[in-house]
Chains A and B, each alone.
Chain A
């Protein structure tokens, strides 16, 4: 595949691996967090850890939209789906998220809820047009990458004058979560975790640009290298981070120059601003209440806001006690540190959300990495 295989070249990877091994300090320790689930997936799928020297340790971050969605929000989606006349449209990943009472959207579907798996927000809009007698709700989740397409369908629905379409908005923001992670660490205590540098978001950055990380890097003295999702991108970014750390720099560097600019996609940003506004706070699994970390639909588009239309108040639901998702999402624990990993909690019967999406740290390690026996965190 042209333009894909070039970024998966094993020979180049081994050359990069040799350079990284040569440049790391023999007695050094480099704890690098890949924020995005897409990177977690690439690292596991291509076996990148086999190519890294022992001094470099990758820590999986909270950038998996399915993983950070709190149980209460999935409960509400299920409640919506079970309402008579409602069609709930959702991305496939959300179908198996474990919710309260042993339910999931998948199980709700078996109970008769009309849940439709869609590949894009426009599919949901089309269903609303095709079935005018039904209430069609799009369960919108994701970081800045999936937000503009949601904005587009809300604007289209308004332009078309649709009265049977609404969006249950759960869009969250990356920089706010990164700041929150650093604040948790700065506060010390049980929630703190040492991170020396960040492999920065890939697709998210195509939208927001590299600029929003500049303040973060300067303020917390942590290097950030924005990286593409292909395995060579990740390897090169790790090398760039190692060099910054060795030189005592804490800058934002852009490895993903083929897609990311400093200012990002202005048009997408304008669209997002037009339709959404900041929430005062949003509950994240693993991070708790994070200020200004999510979006809600502006009053102007209230008619398309499922939260207003159906009056579904948010209820906070604690994670199952045995589940270590929270600590794993903060980078404090490795999936193999969790007691239920691989026995009570598997991709078929997930207890925690990190075992659900292929981007989740637990699912990625279970699916691709569990032949490596490891005990340390």
Chain B
């Protein structure tokens, strides 16, 4: 009997007990196997299957291209309502969508820490694949690096997206004019509070789930109804307050918000009360703020409310002429106060 190696035999990766090791990033067979059996198998599309260094695709004619990138270092990696995988897809899809763009393709870059369980990596990649499929945006190219134990925190993911902005759309934080209306797409602060509830030094029980979601469907519906939307942005780190201040500064206007109109879940309000946080500054991952001319506001609001990701949409304020570019709020108490930029760091590693 002759002993012959079976042609093309590879011992499958141990998805139950296996761990990432340095060979998975070394450019050898182990890396090729990880890419094929995990990334290509899950993200599965013609560009990845071609196994080239980059994805080559036709550019749709007309309009402008938009490109956005986002790194994800969230801790913990798994949280109520999501994980770093779907978050990495949603984050970049939303950045493209907030430019008024229709996201077309994503690139994903992984930095893995030696010793990271393959089972968890698989869960993350499957979640990414699901999120990309739901958003209708394939992951067409990627990269994998492995760093020594202690030099990373399990997994960091950077995603980059490209999309097309139709010629009639011109969305920018610099387009806002006095009397424009500010609309938010739903409940504020869910993501930040969901992450916070898991942090070891402030663990508390909550039913709050992260709102992480791809918003390209919502923005498509909104732009179809009101192509002249002035500005769009997703209030992630720094929350609504940061976006309002960015808008005010970019457009050289003031903004006045109505505290009574802000949609916040009672559980989120209660958690913030307990921790001394302000929901205005807490991160969201599936919400957007839209600014439009006053005559378009009701129509836009109706379209948003008809979409699953905009059911709780509300008009929360308007732009005013103000050379100081102050963001103010009429409090439910009847007074007025500023809504300033966040100072320092409210919570690190939130996305």
Q: Cβ of A368: which chain B residues have Cβ within 8 Å of it?
A: 337-338, 340
A13-B333, A119-B202, A347-B343 as given contacts; A371 in contact with B324, CB under 8 Å:
yes
Task: Say yes or no: A46 contacts B270, CB within 8 Å.
Answer: no
Name A366's closest neighbour in chain B (CB-CB): B340
CA distance A368 to B336 in the complex (A): 9
Task: Say yes or no: A347 contacts B332, CB within 8 Å.
Answer: no
In chain B between 262 and 313, which residues have their CB closer than 8 angstroms to a CB of chain A? 266, 269-270, 273, 275-276
Q: How far is the CB of B108 from chain A (nearest CB, A)?
A: 31
Selected from B269, B333, B334, the residue in CB contact (under 8 A) with A1 is: B269
Q: Cβ of B201: which chain A residues have Cβ within 8 Å of it?
A: 116-119, 123
- Interface range for B: 20 to 34
CA distance A107 to B348 in the complex (A): 16
Task: Say yes or no: B338 contacts A10, CB within 8 Å.
Answer: no
CA distance A14 to B275 in the complex (A): 29
Name A355's closest neighbour in chain B (CB-CB): B343
Task: Say yes or no: A367 contacts B336, CB within 8 Å.
Answer: no
A1-B273, A118-B201, A119-B201 as given contacts; A51 in contact with B335, CB under 8 Å:
yes
CA distance A119 to B196 in the complex (A): 13
Task: Say yes or no: B202 contacts A10, CB within 8 Å.
Answer: no
Task: Say yes or no: A14 contacts B343, CB within 8 Å.
Answer: no
CA distance A127 to B331 in the complex (A): 40
Task: Say yes or no: A48 contacts B335, CB within 8 Å.
Answer: yes
CA distance A96 to B273 in the complex (A): 22
Q: Cβ of A50: which chain B residues have Cβ within 8 Å of it?
A: 334-336
Name A127's closest neighbour in chain B (CB-CB): B201
Selected from A8, A17, A46, A96, the residue in CB contact (under 8 A) with B337 is: A46
In chain A between 110 and 128, which residues have their CB closer than 8 angstroms to a CB of chain B? 116-119, 123
A1-B266, A118-B201, A119-B202 as given contacts; A46 in contact with B340, CB under 8 Å:
no
Task: Say yes or no: B324 contacts A47, CB within 8 Å.
Answer: no
Q: Is A369 an interface position by the 8 A CB rule?
A: yes
Q: Cβ of A49: which chain B residues have Cβ within 8 Å of it?
A: 335
Q: Is B167 an interface position by the 8 A CB rule?
A: no
CA distance A372 to B88 in the complex (A): 41
Task: Say yes or no: B326 contacts A10, CB within 8 Å.
Answer: no
Selected from A8, A95, A370, the residue in CB contact (under 8 A) with B333 is: A8
Name B278's closest neighbour in chain A (CB-CB): A45
Task: Say yes or no: B340 contacts A10, CB within 8 Å.
Answer: no
Name A373's closest neighbour in chain B (CB-CB): B324
11 A-B interface contacts by CB (under 8 A): A13-B333, A45-B337, A46-B337, A47-B333, A47-B335, A51-B333, A231-B333, A347-B343, A367-B340, A369-B337, A371-B326
* Interchain residue pairs A-B with the least CB separation, the first 9: A47-B335, A347-B343, A50-B335, A368-B337, A46-B333, A371-B326, A10-B334, A47-B337, A47-B336
Interface residues of A (CB under 8 A from B): 1, 4, 8-10, 13-14, 17, 44-51, 95-96, 116-119, 123, 231, 347-348, 358, 363, 366-371
Interface residues of B (CB under 8 A from A): 201-202, 266, 269-270, 273, 275-276, 324, 326, 328, 331-338, 340, 343-344
